[in-house]
Amino acid sequence: MTERPYGTVPEQQIRWGILGTGFIATVQTQDLIANGFTVQAVGSRSLESSRAFCDKFGIPTAHEGYESLASDPNVDVIYVATPHTFHHAHALLALNAGKHVMVEKPFTINARQAQDVVELAEAKGLVALEAMWSRFLPHMVRLREIINEGKLGEVRKVIASLNMNLPKDPSHRLNNLALGCGALLDLGIYPVSFAFGILGVPASIRASGSMTASGVDRQTTVILEYPDGQQALLDCALDASGANRAAIIGTEGWIDLGSNWYEATGFTRYGVDGEVLEMFGRSVNGRGMQFQAAEMERLIRSGATAGPVLSPGESAAVMAAMDEIRRQIGLKYEADAAK
């Protein structure tokens, strides 16, 4: 079953290129192929890796090097699946080659890099979409409908946690300062983006964090405050598991999102007296990463470069908030010093 929301049409075949062959590239490619998208080519630093990836998924073209993938005339859109510190360079590479680009979250390392990508995409009339896959999942679509219909009244508070017990080896990617990692950019990006999607850009930010011996944050807590008094209470950690729940609280009720709210799951909507008013749940084919790909294809087919769910400008605004959070907790990356 092919899951293509947002009114996409099948006439214009859109051919995907996968830049990178790691875990997240594998998951995205599985969902693309399982849901009827066309994956045309793969690029990796080594031809051996590209060929192995192509053989695994039955993809026609293996490229040695990312430049070769970007210049492939049979590729229309490139999915950037490399580590955080390379997102900026690889997004610019794709855009300069005339390719639309879907960039794995976080969009870049900082707001300056994000703005570079946004400006180049605008100048070339191309789509640059952050692969914040949770924004496009069915339960998130329904959640936004409920809020827009006023069923929660005035939204007062957003609460979201993402705490996981991940590898503690200092040499592991997640603990590598040189790769722009840590709890905030790997996990906290989900709660922060979730709050932005509900409440928008905050008026002020307060943050506190604890660091690992390798210099990245092991846990960070954030309060986003808004002009009319709304708040978002967000937290993340990479060395301790949690329930990973989220909630949206309004004057006319609240929504409780179950464990792992950022994945394809469901929620329960309650009235002010605690009565259950709606229970939403829907199974999806695969992990659910096909929905962000469907939005990318919808934008390309419609000739638009920004959609209502997550625009490039909003991704840049999220990165600006992440910059401020990092400033407050003392988390600096090499890219921050670049001009």
Helix (DSSP H) and strand (DSSP E) numbers for the chain: 10, 14
Please check whether residue 201 is in contact with residue 127, taking contact to mean a CB–CB distance below 8 angstroms.
no
Q: How far is residue 246 from each of residues 105, 157, 260, measured CA to CA in Å? A: 20, 11, 8
The confidence score (pLDDT) of residue 237 equals 98
Domain with CATH 3.30.360.10 in the chain: 138-283+318-337
Tell me the β-bridge partners of 256: 247, 268
Domain with CATH 3.40.50.720 in the chain: 15-134
Alpha helices in 12-125 (DSSP H): 23-34, 47-57, 66-70, 87-96, 111-124
Burial of 282 (0-12, 13-18, 19+ CB in 10 A): middle
The confidence score (pLDDT) of residue 11 equals 58
Q: From edge to edge, which strands make up the β-sheet containing 267-270?
A: 204-211, 217-225, 231-237, 155-163, 246-250, 253-257, 267-270, 276-280
- Radius of gyration of the chain measured on its C-alpha atoms: 20
The confidence score (pLDDT) of residue 10 equals 47
Burial of 30 (0-12, 13-18, 19+ CB in 10 A): middle
Each residue's pLDDT tens digit, 311-327? 999 999 999 999 999 99
The confidence score (pLDDT) of residue 282 equals 87
CATH code of the region 15-134: 3.40.50.720
The confidence score (pLDDT) of residue 9 equals 39
Q: Which parts of the chain register pLDDT below 70?
A: 1-11, 339
What DSSP assignment string belongs to 278-301?
EEE----SSSSTHHHHHHHHHHHH
Q: The whole model's pTM is what?
A: 0.94
Each residue's pLDDT tens digit, 23-42? 999 999 999 999 999 999 99
The confidence score (pLDDT) of residue 279 equals 97
Please check whether residue 263 is in contact with residue 287, taking contact to mean a CB–CB distance below 8 angstroms.
yes
The confidence score (pLDDT) of residue 339 equals 61
CATH code of the region 138-283+318-337: 3.30.360.10
Q: Going by C-beta distance under 8 Å and a sequence separation of 6 or more, which residues neighbour residue 23?
A: none
Q: Find, among 147, 114, 148, the residue nearest to 128 by Cα.
A: 114
